[in-house]
Structure 1
Amino acid sequence: MTFLIFSTLFFTATYLPRYAPSIDTGVFYEIFVRAFYDSDGDGIGDFKGIVEKLDYLNNGNAFEDNDLGISGIWLMPIFPSPSYHGYDVTDYYAVNSRYGTMRDFETLIEEAHKRGIKIMIDLVINHTSNQHPWFLNASNPEAPKHEKYRDYYVWTTGDPDGPSGHKWNYIKSMKSSYYSSFKYKGMPDLNFDNPEVKEEIKKIATFWLKKGVDGFRIDAAKHIFNDHSKNSEWWKEFMAYVKSINPNVFVVGEIWDSNELIDAYYTSLDSAFEFEFKDRVWQTVKFNSVTFWKQTDKKHNIFPEGFVPSIFVSNHDMDRPGSHFEKGALKILSTLLLTSSGVPFIYYGEEIGAKGRKPDENIREPMDWYALMEGPGRVHWLDSYKYAFERYNQKADGISVEEQDEDPNSLLNWYRKLIHLREDYPILKTGKMKIIDVEVERVIALKRYSDTALEMAFVFVNISKEVKKLDVSKFPEFFKAEYISLPLGDQEGTNIILPPFGIAIVIVRDSEGTD
């Protein structure tokens, strides 16, 4: 048996060999292409820019730990679109020309795969843009393909109330007809009661899978029908189809709702984002309360075989944690994310503590690579955007890759250590999770274990600003092991001493099995 302890102050140099990244257990990194890295000096992030920064994300060398260590990239919409964000698509078989060419995108896939990085794209199929050729035909009675494409969308007559989360929009040329749209009139809803629409979506998925895409993030997955059972049946059909093309494709749905509602999708998708996980983690840190964290324990070991939850603490639709929490609290957020069961997703800039509050443009500000906000590849997409500007990125505020790269105590290097630790010790990726009571106020403790693996992990987190003493004598596994101590002052006999916002991660390996 081997016993290793890691803390916020110390990481042992003794590591197991790196395991190959797995799409259903590795860490994903969400990128807004427009805001990430600019390769051609036009101020807009692009595919070539991501290629230039792949080594920052994962350099493919299992014996180095100076990269972030992620296993997959989720790209926000890459299709042509009239909007800056891309969630209203005009062509599902092309890429946004501001991001580069199709060949540039293919090169990104090739270079990512060389490093063991999977590529997931945002698939926006609940609705299209109102400038998509399908809708232009559907909304114009004089168009040659009007009748065919009218039935691609959802229409009604009169002045109806829209389904939940949707609205009805009047078109003068269609006389008394209204079309349903998602959020605003520029996103007309597709009609999935029409079998031709389903076949179109399958053709789109086939096109991108043949390009080498490894997965899809499904936008607005619960809105396809205004009926969750019908949604589930459609996603089962879609999943069976894409798995017939690539059995390893990974599909995660955005179902922004309670875990009780997400239950309906457990048997129809590979994964779904757990919005309640994000809420519980934020509440735990914000209110320094273990009570909120304990609520996450209810779901994490009851998922059906083949389903894995996708967990996160920030994304492109919500305030950034850096605008709500101090550095110590951000380390706690990242620790709970990266040591919990599920597939962790990181939003670009989260690893350096980037700030941002709604509206959306201000939570999608350029990635800050440099202390002075200037340098090769620095994006300036908001400079030409008439509705917003960079409110939160500031010069020399400590929140840049350049300022944190060489600082061993930086948030960036904490993320690097945690992700590499997760890859080095598979129990942190695939083990069951149990929240344990250590009877110490404001100390979180969780155990990652398996009924068969010869490895287990304990995670102890002090969510307070006070020093906490934790008696670990109740865990006999600790004392069967060769003992490698924490730094001087962090361990006293059978006690672990946790400083304010202190974190200890204990890995136990037992050649005779674990309890």
Structure 2
Amino acid sequence: MSFAEHAIIWHVYPLGALDAPIRPEAPAPLTHRLPNLINWLDYVVELGCNALLLGPVFASLSHGYDTQDFYRIDPRLGTEEDMDALLQAASKRGIGVLFDGVFNHVSTTSQYAELTTGSSFEGHDILAELDHHNPAVVELVIDVMNHWLDRGIAGWRLDAVYAIDPEFWAQVLPRVREKHPDAWIVGEMIHGDYAEYVNASGIDSVTEYELWKAIWSSIKERNFFELEWTLGRHNEFLETFVPQTFIGNHDVTRIATQIGQSNAILAAAILFTVGGVPSIYYGDEQGFTGIKEENIAGDDAIRPPLPAELSPLGEWIENIYKALIALRRQHPWLYQARTEILDIANETLTYKSTGIEGEELTVHLDLEAVSVRISQGDEELFHYSA
């Protein structure tokens, strides 16, 4: 059984979650923040999750995506020893840790300057694109990936793979898999041909932005026909690979802000009853809110510090998430489930998810009533109504 088949991910942006200074005016002093994340691991397990996806953890100057050193933990988070302790504590609890591999670009002031093309990435002056046609870049990425897999991580999220020729990964990944055949590799694909990229690159999965968009948009616009179309595409993807599915991440407006907390429960119900490797962005299971904006501090609201103590206001949402995750755990075949639309109108949708051995669940969503019902035959497994 692969890591992904039973993975339910809790996704954290460490610099924000641990309240590190994102844009320090001078180099930030070494601060041991990673031990605070160890304190959240029992919470992760209680939710029902068994994977921890960490946003950037390597030495950088600001938001983490401007890497200075791939082999050094960001001093704003702590030391290598702090990371070793986190990995050991996670392993003890059966939690696999995924790192964010920012291998498309680096800081313009990093030690890797001679390995860049000289072009800035997507107009960001502080980010220089790595030259993926340079054999030295191939060797660097292989070495970095193996270095941290040797240290105990379970896999990698590859940042901005949509901007990298898949042939680059076709050179890198066989040599990573020689040493780490079980490592799970997921690529960030905001746009592009998902299945073609998976086939050409050899990565295991991609972030399914199409499904993310269709889930919140169909609820917000009260038009389930958008979701119907996308679930048809989703079934096609499952013929080639199993996508990483999500309703929130570190780059998008919080789901509770986008459609409201009650509607966000409907979105979560969809997430946990269709095929995929589901990912929860930290705080979504508490109803956190936040708007993504297009300015220098535009991500701050969606990447907040984890509180010293959770507010009781989010407890009802947490309990619903636990119930949905438990349902997912009881039906592990949902990992590769195909979805068939049984009945559809603008504001109501009934679909059936079917496993490869014929297992079935039926999901009924009603936007007018703000309700969702999940059943198996005549047995109701889950019900929520606002």
Is 1:103 the counterpart of 2:81? The answer is yes
Which one of 299, 313, 327 corresponds to residue 233 of structure 2?
Answer: 299
Specify the alignment match of 2:110 in structure 1: 132
Which one of 427, 433, 456 corresponds to residue 360 of structure 2?
Answer: 456
Q: What is the count of residue pairs matched by the alignment?
A: 371
Specify the alignment match of 2:286 in structure 1: 352
CA distance in 1, matches of 2:157, 2:188: 7
Structure 2 unaligned segments of length 5 or more: list them: 21-28
CA distance in 2, matches of 1:221, 1:80: 21
TM-score (norm 1): 0.67
Q: CA offset at residue 277 of structure 1?
A: 0.7
Structure 1 unaligned segments of length 5 or more: list them: 1-19, 59-66, 136-148, 156-178, 225-230, 371-399, 488-497, 502-515
Query: 1:233 aligns to what SS in structure 2?
Result: helix
Specify the alignment match of 1:141 in structure 2: none
CA distance in 2, matches of 1:70, 1:499: 21
Identity of aligned residues (%): 28
Q: CA offset at residue 340 of structure 1?
A: 1.3
What letter is aligned with 1:336?
Answer: I
- Residues 278-312 of structure 1: per-residue CA shift (max 9 Å, x gap): 11001111022211110122222323666211111
Name the structure with the higher helix share. 2
Query: 1:266 aligns to what SS in structure 2?
Result: helix
- Residues 214-241 of structure 1: per-residue CA shift (max 9 Å, x gap): 11111111213xxxxxx12222222212
Specify the alignment match of 2:325 in structure 1: 419
Q: CA offset at residue 485 of structure 1?
A: 6.1
Specify the alignment match of 2:26 in structure 1: none
Query: 1:189 aligns to what SS in structure 2?
Result: strand
Is 1:248 the counterpart of 2:226? The answer is no
Which one of 299, 305, 314 corresponds to residue 404 of structure 1?
Answer: 314
Name the structure with the higher strand share. 2
Specify the alignment match of 1:392 in structure 2: none
CA distance in 2, matches of 1:448, 1:32: 32
Q: Map 1:355-370 to 2 at 5 A.
A: 355-357=289-291, 358=293, 359-368=298-307, 370=309
Contact 1:181 1:187 in 2 (8 A): yes
CA distance in 1, matches of 2:112, 2:379: 64
- Residues 311-351 of structure 1: per-residue CA shift (max 9 Å, x gap): 11111111112223222201001111111111111111111
Q: CA offset at residue 202 of structure 1?
A: 0.8
Is 1:23 the counterpart of 2:4? The answer is yes
Specify the alignment match of 1:436 in structure 2: 342
CA distance in 2, matches of 1:236, 1:430: 25
CA distance in 2, matches of 1:206, 1:317: 27
Which one of 298, 309, 314 corresponds to residue 248 of structure 2?
Answer: 314
TM-score (norm 2): 0.88
Specify the alignment match of 2:143 in structure 1: 203
Against the structure 1 CA distance between its residues 486 and 57, is the aligned structure 2 distance closer, same or farther, given a 3 Å change threshold? closer
Q: CA offset at residue 70 of structure 1?
A: 0.8
Contact 1:74 1:119 in 2 (8 A): yes
Which one of 7, 12, 17 corresponds to residue 36 of structure 1?
Answer: 17
Contact 2:87 2:97 in 1 (8 A): yes
- Residues 388-434 of structure 1: per-residue CA shift (max 9 Å, x gap): xxxxxxxxxxxx444434xxxx1111111111211122133332222
CA distance in 1, matches of 2:9, 2:177: 20
Query: 1:419 aligns to what SS in structure 2?
Result: helix
Instruction: Note the aligned Cα RMSD (angstroms).
Output: 2.9
Is 1:275 the counterpart of 2:215? The answer is no
Query: Which of the two has higher C-alpha Rg?
Result: 1
Contact 2:276 2:334 in 1 (8 A): no
Contact 1:273 1:309 in 2 (8 A): yes
Against the structure 1 CA distance between its residues 22 and 205, is the aligned structure 2 distance closer, same or farther, given a 3 Å change threshold? closer
